[in-house]
Amino acid sequence: MNKPQSASDAKTPEQPTETTNFTKARAKLSFDRMIEHGAKMGMPNPLFHCADRAAKATIHIDGKDYINFSTYDYLDINGHPEITEAVTATAKVYGTSAGASRLVGGERVPHRELEQALCDFLGTEDCIAYVSGHATNVTTLGFLFGPRDLILHDNLAHNSLAQGARLSGATRFSYQHNSCEDLERLLKTKRAEHKNCVIVTEGLFSMDGNIPDIPRLIELKKQYNCMLMVDEAHSLGVLGEHGRGVAEYFNVDPSDVDLWMSTLSKTLCGCGGYIAGRRDVVQFLKYGAPGFVFSVGMPPVIAAACTTALKILRREPERVKRVQHISRYFLEYAQSKGLNTGEAQGYAIVPIITGESFFTGFLSARLFQRGIYVMPISFPAVKEGEGRLRFFLSAAQTEENVRKTIDAVIEEMPEAQKMVDRYRAEHPEG
């Protein structure tokens, strides 16, 4: 089979002869800067590495296995034979496409089965599954709220939540990361001026690996007559004894949160997103949210994959214990070696805070050369000076790999610093 054109494009973006507005804008992207800095130091492009099989504890790239810290497959379910079987059987019945928006001809049995399975698991009245996780947040917030409303979201809330808040036209403020005090200050001063208000947070923060104080957020939402939306992209399957997420972790009543959101692309090994909550809200979304009404239904095969993944999660809670154990092990081992893990609490996401973007990029590149695959995160995804290597832990990961990796991080830090110094000396222009 010929190599797809896009694969090579992704590795070495073509330089157009004329500078267009887009190429000018691209020069400002931090990813491009990272590639450029790396290239000047003889490092290959660290992005769009193409693996040729499912990524587990290791990822296979260009004929070599790398210890893998870049998978969302938290419970090591992706590629499970039961899922493959369910997908094959579903494809035989439905093909691979829903064929239309669910509202007008695209509704299929696997959609309903998935939504019902999610309601049963989460303890909610109803659920709507969308075709994309990112679009779930954008369209839900964009549709439910309007110019007379107020959206208060955590400063580190995911891009999709911020985009949805913008789209809604509501007044929007971000409160300091994980600070219920700052949120309350905003509620006191702003709430009364608006009709509806929604507080938006993640269940497990994707950059820091810490958990918000959900019981306090519930108190505040009740006290100030607001709604509460929790994005469980990273907490579903990870928090709580049975992986039921942040509600189980804090033992709160699921009905105290108005909009439970998660992607289907992480623990549930598919693609898409859902909103679970009260029936009236979910039905309103089903008849009105543009990202649902004017978009095709998710492929029935994906719905079947997610339902099967959920079945495996429910049947095998030991997977949840495994991801919790390896995450805790990673955190404690890193801390015992004096590394800065920020506010991570030891659940699936553990950053190692490295500071400057430059340094972080070089460190990640050096680790890749040593057979370790971990992505650097730098400004604007996090504040300048708070660059980090973000480690995603999976139930598939081993203690030996964790020790090897952290020892390598420590050994490579002085080498990465030497690269920064050399870069600065050779490229005083920046």
Ligand X SMILES: Cc1ncc(COP(=O)(O)O)c(C=O)c1O
Residues at the interface with ligand X (CB under 6 A): 132-134, 137, 158, 160, 202, 206, 231, 233, 263, 265, 273
User: How far is it, in rounded angstroms, from Cα 258 to Cα 228?
Assistant: 5
Output 97 or 163, the one with its CB closest to ligand X: 163
Minimal distance, residue 416 CB to ligand X, in Å: 26
Minimal distance, residue 227 CB to ligand X, in Å: 18
User: How far is it, in rounded angstroms, from Cα 403 to Cα 382?
Assistant: 26
Minimal distance, residue 136 CB to ligand X, in Å: 7
End-to-end CA distance of the chain: 42
Q: How many Cβ atoms sit within 10 Å of the Cβ of residue 286?
A: 17
User: How far is it, in rounded angstroms, from Cα 401 to Cα 5?
Assistant: 35
User: How far is it, in rounded angstroms, from Cα 408 to Cα 421?
Assistant: 20
Minimal distance, residue 70 CB to ligand X, in Å: 12
- Cβ 256 vs Cβ 226: under 8 Å: no
Residue 355's DSSP bridge partners are 387
DSSP-based three-state secondary structure for 141? helix
Output 119 or 135, the one with its CB closest to ligand X: 135
Output 205 or 362, the one with its CB closest to ligand X: 205
Ranked by CB distance to ligand X, the top (closest) residue is 133
Minimal distance, residue 24 CB to ligand X, in Å: 28
Output 132 or 178, the one with its CB closest to ligand X: 132
Minimal distance, residue 105 CB to ligand X, in Å: 25
User: How far is it, in rounded angstroms, from Cα 360 to Cα 227?
Assistant: 38
User: How far is it, in rounded angstroms, from Cα 336 to Cα 76?
Assistant: 27
Output 37 or 158, the one with its CB closest to ligand X: 158
Where does residue 267 rank: exposed (0-12), middle (13-18), buried (19+ CB within 10 A)? buried
Q: What's at 326, amino acid-wise?
A: I
The 3-class secondary structure across 109-136, one letter per residue, is HHHHHHHHHHHHHHCCCEEEEECCHHHH
Output 130 or 358, the one with its CB closest to ligand X: 130
User: How far is it, in rounded angstroms, from Cα 122 to Cα 325?
Assistant: 23
Minimal distance, residue 223 CB to ligand X, in Å: 26
Minimal distance, residue 137 CB to ligand X, in Å: 6
Output 108 or 134, the one with its CB closest to ligand X: 134
Output 208 or 386, the one with its CB closest to ligand X: 208
Output 150 or 236, the one with its CB closest to ligand X: 236
User: How far is it, in rounded angstroms, from Cα 293 to Cα 291?
Assistant: 6
Q: How many Cβ atoms sit within 10 Å of the Cβ of residue 308?
A: 25
Minimal distance, residue 231 CB to ligand X, in Å: 5
Element (H, E) at 421: helix 399-426
